């Protein structure tokens, strides 16, 4: 009996050359991909050609993604339909997977190193890409090796295991890539809506109270974003029953038990939408008819804090309205409870990051909703691109950012512009020259910008004209001349340009 070797198959004479190359080339590509780990993490001032090659990474990476997944699908289907695992078809897919994975890995490295990306997420994406490239190359080499010995190489358990592990590495790398582009929960956030979620234990109906379990929930949904401990519009707090009984800045009482006509919270609800005093203001969800009817009934009957719902259910004039509202109120309670859980988790995580980065992160009293403001400590410590990227998973929570005297330039404005809810940005005494201002052209919330004492290039200041919601700009101590500012004011009279240093934060 002769010893089995690589060429022992019915087609050995015909395919020995292609089989050897099919085995060796993937191993060579695997070695080259692995070698990326030993290349420098930064290419300094890389040539434009290398930068261009790196920017092809988002285009190239889709080819290995499709090929690796398609190969796994064909192999699994092939267990029942052998035509899907014809050796020629599998070899072509695997070979294409190797070369496109190699091209994607090289382009990814050039993008990473030529444009000086930093941060743990970027590093993990690079490592994931290398792992995926190694996986498909080793899977291909093993398939060609087995094909030289057996006509059923696609059914080999080691080959199938390698292919599935490669798909796992691909899924991990794709998730990290999505996180870099769209935020950390790009894939997990919609998935969370499909999975069973925790629920709030609901009290029996006979234990429910009108104010605590219904009225307060309604106010929480529609009013408390402007009348809470962090933001008290008109000096009116609405977070507790006792606070509702106090007068606001106008001297009028939100709640006058027994008198809906004198209760300001109802008076303003009934004002025309165009009236500046109407609550809530235009553009924000107002009270629906059933909610207004219930609140009116409650006030007419004394606005008791401990009034049980069971008493209202015995009153035909309000029972139907209450029965209609209860399911909606209970759903709102579920939603608010889950939001509180998620927000409490974010607060704890941001507290740890603030300590680590030596910055201040606290609730923003000027913002409507659950948002934070970021401030530098003084004297300021190091804060640059690396520190900014550590905050990236929480960008959506920031409404005010002050990075005065930080080591940032226009490159960092690319990331700051991803803070979709940012309303106020203070970057005075930084290296910003204005070339990064176009990143804010699609930003829908930025209203205040302080760029005093920066090396602002006069021509770049015209980018401010295209920031849609901008209202206040502080521009003291920059090379921009007064005549340019006057020209800007002509084109955008809704923007006020302050020739003063301005605040460090608000």
DSSP result, 331-356: HHHHHHHHHHHHHHHHHHHHHHHHHH
> Percent of the chain beyond pLDDT 90?
28
pLDDT in tens, 2-56: 444 444 444 444 455 667 888 889 899 999 999 988 988 777 776 778 878 888 8
End-to-end Cα distance, the chain: 86
CA-to-CA distance for 327 and 323, rounded, in angstroms?
Answer: 8
Output 488 or 503, whichever has higher pLDDT: 488
Mean pLDDT calculated for residue range 222-243? 66
CA distance linking residue 336 with residue 175, whole number of Å: 28
Structure pTM?
0.48
Rounded distance, CA 204 to CA 56, Å? 60
Tell me, what's the pLDDT at 165?
93
How far apart are alpha carbons 179 and 202 in whole angstroms?
36
Region 164-169: mean pLDDT is: 92
Rounded Cα–Cα distance for residues 296 and 37 (Å): 69
Distance CA 419, CA 364 (A): 15
CA dihedral sign of residues 148, 149, 155, 161: negative
Q: What pLDDT is attached to residue 284?
A: 64
pLDDT of residue 201: 53
Helices 157-182, 120-147: inter-axial angle, 10-degree rounding: 160
Which pLDDT score, from 0 to 100, does residue 304 have? 87
Mean pLDDT calculated for residue range 406-420: 91
pLDDT band at 209 (very low <50, low <70, confident <90, very high): confident
| Position 148 confidence tier, pLDDT thresholds 50, 70, 90 | low
Structural contact between residues 43 and 50, judged by C-beta atoms closer than 8 angstroms = yes
Give whole-number Cα distances, 223 to 41, 219, 368, 421, 437, in Å: 51, 5, 10, 20, 35
pLDDT digits (tens, 9 = 90+) for 255-267: 888 888 888 888 8
* Structure confidence by residue, pLDDT tens digits, 188-208: 555 455 444 444 555 677 778
Q: What is the CA radius of gyration of the chain?
A: 31
Sheet holding 424-426, edge to edge: 359-363, 372-376, 398-402, 424-426, 448-450, 472-474, 496-498
Interval 104-128 mean pLDDT: 80
Report which listed range, 135-144, 226-235, 244-253, 282-291, is most confident. Answer: 135-144
Q: Given a cut of 70, is residue 231 above it in pLDDT?
A: no
> What tokens appear for 259 in the block?
């008198």
Which residues on adjacent β-strands are paired with residue 308? 209
Q: In what helix (H) or strand (E) does residue 324 lie, and over which residues does it extend? A: helix 316-357
Residue 472, H or E segment: strand 472-474
Please choose, from the candidates 175, 163, 173, the residue with its C-alpha nearest in 3D space to the C-alpha of residue 137. 163
Residue 506 has pLDDT above 60, yes or no: no
Q: Is 372 helix (H, G, I), strand (E, B) or coil?
A: strand
Query: What is 358-498's CATH number?
Result: 3.80.10.10
Buried b (16+ CB within 10 A) or exposed e, 159-186: bbebbeebbebbbbbbbbbbbbeebbeb
């Amino acid at each position: 009996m002769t010893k089995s070797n690589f060429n022992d198959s019915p087609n050995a004479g015909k395919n020995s050359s292609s089989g050897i190359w099919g085995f060796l080339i993937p191993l060579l590509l695997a070695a080259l991909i692995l070698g990326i780990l030993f290349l420098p993490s930064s290419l300094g001032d890389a040539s434009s050609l290398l930068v261009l090659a790196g920017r092809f990474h988002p285009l190239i990476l889709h080819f290995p993604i499709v090929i690796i997944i398609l190969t796994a699908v064909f192999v699994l289907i092939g267990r029942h339909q052998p035509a899907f695992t014809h050796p020629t078809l599998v070899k072509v897919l695997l070979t294409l997977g190797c070369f496109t994975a190699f091209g994607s890995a090289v382009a990814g490295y050039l993008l990473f190193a030529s444009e000086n990306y930093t941060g743990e997420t970027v590093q993990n994406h690079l490592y994931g890409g290398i792992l995926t490239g190694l996986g498909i190359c080793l899977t291909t080499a093993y398939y060609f090796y087995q094909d030289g010995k057996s006509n059923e190489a696609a059914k080999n358990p080691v080959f199938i295991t390698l292919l599935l592990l490669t798909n796992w590495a691909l899924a991990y790398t794709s998730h990290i890539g999505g996180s870099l582009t769209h935020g950390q929960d790009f894939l997990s956030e919609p998935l969370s809506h499909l999975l069973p979620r925790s629920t709030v234990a609901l009290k029996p109906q006979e234990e429910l109270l009108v104010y605590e379990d219904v009225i307060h929930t309604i106010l929480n949904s529609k009013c408390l974003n402007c009348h809470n401990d962090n933001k008290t519009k008109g000096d009116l707090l609405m977070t507790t029953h006792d606070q509702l009984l106090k007068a606001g800045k106008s001297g009028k009482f939100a709640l006058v038990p027994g008198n809906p006509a004198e209760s300001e919270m109802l008076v303003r609800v009934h004002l025309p939408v165009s009236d500046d005093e109407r609550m809530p203001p235009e553009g924000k969800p107002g009270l629906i008819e059933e909610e207004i009817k219930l609140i009116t009934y409650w006030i007419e009957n004394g606005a008791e804090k401990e009034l049980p719902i069971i008493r209202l259910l015995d009153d035909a004039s309000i029972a139907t309205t209450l029965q209609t509202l209860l399911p909606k109120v209970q759903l709102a309670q579920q939603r608010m409870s889950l939001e509180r859980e998620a927000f409490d988790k974010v607060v704890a995580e941001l507290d740890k990051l603030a300590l680590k980065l030596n910055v201040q992160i606290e609730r923003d009293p000027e913002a409507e909703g659950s948002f934070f403001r970021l401030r530098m400590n003084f004297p300021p410590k190091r804060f640059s691109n690396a520190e900014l990227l550590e905050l990236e998973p929480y960008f959506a929570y920031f409404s005010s950012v002050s990075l005065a005297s930080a080591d940032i330039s226009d490159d960092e404005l690319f990331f700051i512009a991803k803070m979709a809810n940012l309303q106020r940005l203070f970057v005075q005494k930084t290296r910003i020259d204005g070339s990064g201002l176009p990143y804010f052209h699609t930003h829908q919330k930025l209203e205040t910008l302080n760029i005093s004492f920066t090396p602002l290039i006069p021509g770049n200041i015209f980018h401010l004209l295209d920031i849609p919601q901008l209202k206040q700009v502080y521009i003291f101590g920059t090379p921009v001349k007064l005549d340019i500012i006057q020209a800007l004011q002509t084109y955008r009279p809704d923007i006020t340009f302050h020739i003063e240093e301005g605040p460090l934060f608000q």
